Amino acid sequence: MKLLITGGTGYIGSHTVVELLNLGHTIVIVDNLANSSTEVLSRIETITGKSPTFVHADICDRSALDCLFTEHRFDAVIHFAGLKAVGESNDIPLSYYHNNVSGSITLFEVMASHGVKKLVFSSSATVYGENNCSPLDESMPTSATNPYGQTKLMIENILFDLAKSDADWSIACLRYFNPIGAHQSGLIGENPNGIPNNLLPYVSQVAVGKLPKLQIFGDDYDTQDGTGVRDYIHVVDLALGHVKALEQLDNIDGCQPINLGTGNGTSVLEIVNTFKDISGQDIPYDIVPRRVGDIATVFADASIANNLLGWQAKRDLAMMIEDTWRWQSNNPNGFA
């Protein structure tokens, strides 16, 4: 297939591009490099022996997208492009709504005008909000507690309405749980700008000596050891979930939300202790008050992904952390 991958030089996009190239698909990436680097392209080439076409453009730029769809006859689009930092979204909400929501609407309009109506969209478990109990399943009510989450929810709702209005659309809305890990080669991985917000990049930067100490946000939750529990999923399993979704798009009627998670919960302390064992590094930490907006436990019911896509996460926590550590220790400054 010939595929357009928006945000394809980013963390999840680059791992998905690798899997798609390995399967022989033709890939065009569009990315504005707001949170990624062209160095990713040469790393992808080293891993796969193949080069995706790269177009440096913004998904908000209608005429750039129009040119792209005129030049290439795409079979489908995987839409990763977006801003993703929850904290930042509280500070600059208009940028998030513009980039994520307006950018997505522009993309969907250009797709429709060129008759490309197959889409895999990067959604998030954040759309389950604060009021559902894990395991979270796709029938549960959705809500959002910050502008980033609102953008994911708004785009999902736009896609449900779009699919209702025109039966030619086939859309998989993939709700990711907590992607971690890196490609086994150690050549590509997560490369956050500045001080990381998410647990794994923070822990790995402490392990590699870039940050002095982890702060654990609360040890008084109603969980096995009092620290927060999440469903961590290896980024390569996540990438393979996109491959399966793409292969099953013809069997999807309208817009289908699909959880991509392992179905297992892991606490912050389990992550820290496993990281310490695997890396052989000390991970000093302080227990500090809970982070505003955090909930105790989040994990997926992944049965729709299993039944509809024939997909299941295969890589365990040790592998997620080994691969994170290989990436971080080989590339202490990311792609710089």
The contacts of residue 161 (CB under 8 Å, 6+ apart) are: none
Minimum CB distance to ligand UDP smaller for 216 or for 235: 216
The three-class DSSP label of residue 55 is strand
Minimum CB distance to ligand UDP smaller for 136 or for 309: 136
Question: Is residue 33 part of the contact set for ligand NAD (CB under 6 A)?
Answer: yes
Question: Is residue 215 part of the contact set for ligand UDP (CB under 6 A)?
Answer: yes
Minimum CB distance to ligand UDP smaller for 145 or for 329: 145
Question: Is residue 26 part of the contact set for ligand UDP (CB under 6 A)?
Answer: no
Known catalytic residue: 148?
Answer: yes
Among 28, 32, 305, 325, binds ligand NAD (CB under 6 A): 32
Of 217-246, which residues contact ligand UDP (CB under 6 A)?
Answer: 217, 228, 230
Rounded to a whole number of angstroms, the minimum distance from the CB of residue 59 to ligand NAD is 4
Of 176-235, which residues contact ligand NAD (CB under 6 A)?
Answer: 176, 179
Kindly indicate which of the ranges 72-80, 113-121, 210-218, 250-258 contains the residues binding ligand UDP, using the contact rule CB under 6 A: 210-218
Kindly indicate which of the ranges 62-70, 75-83, 209-217, 307-315 contains the residues binding ligand NAD, using the contact rule CB under 6 A: 75-83
**Secondary-structure breakdown of the chain: helix, strand, coil percentages, each rounded to the nearest 5:** 40, 20, 40
| Residue 36's binding partner out of ligand UDP, ligand NAD, none, with CB under 5 to 8 Å set by partner kind | ligand NAD
The contacts of residue 324 (CB under 8 Å, 6+ apart) are: 180, 181, 182, 189, 190, 200, 204, 275
Minimum CB distance to ligand NAD smaller for 14 or for 227: 14
DSSP state letters, 117-185: -EEEEEEEGGGB-SSPPSSB-TTS--B-SSHHHHHHHHHHHHHHHHHHH-TT-EEEEEEE-EEE---TT
| Residue 230's binding partner out of ligand UDP, ligand NAD, none, with CB under 5 to 8 Å set by partner kind | ligand UDP
The contacts of residue 141 (CB under 8 Å, 6+ apart) are: 129, 131, 132
What the block records as the tokens of 63 is 């005429």
Q: Measured between alpha carbons, how far is 192 from 197 in angstroms, rounded to an integer?
A: 9
Question: Is residue 60 part of the contact set for ligand NAD (CB under 6 A)?
Answer: yes
| Residue 294's binding partner out of ligand NAD, ligand UDP, none, with CB under 5 to 8 Å set by partner kind | ligand UDP
234 neighbors 264 (Cβ within 8 angstroms): no
Question: Is residue 262 part of the contact set for ligand NAD (CB under 6 A)?
Answer: no
Catalytic residue selected from 11, 96, 97, 148 = 148
Of 82-141, which residues contact ligand NAD (CB under 6 A)?
Answer: 82-84, 99, 103, 122, 124
Burial of 280 (0-12, 13-18, 19+ CB in 10 A): exposed
Which among 218, 180, 174 is positioned nearest to 198, based on CA atoms? 180
Which among 270, 271, 281, 286 is positioned nearest to 328, based on CA atoms? 281
The three-class DSSP label of residue 255 is strand
Among 161, 253, 282, 294, binds ligand UDP (CB under 6 A): 294
| Residue 81's binding partner out of ligand UDP, ligand NAD, none, with CB under 5 to 8 Å set by partner kind | ligand NAD
Number of H helices, E strands in the chain: 12, 13
Question: Is residue 304 part of the contact set for ligand UDP (CB under 6 A)?
Answer: no
> Which residues are marked as active site?
148
Residues that bind ligand NAD (CB under 6 A): 6-7, 9-13, 30-36, 58-60, 80-84, 99, 103, 122, 124, 176, 179
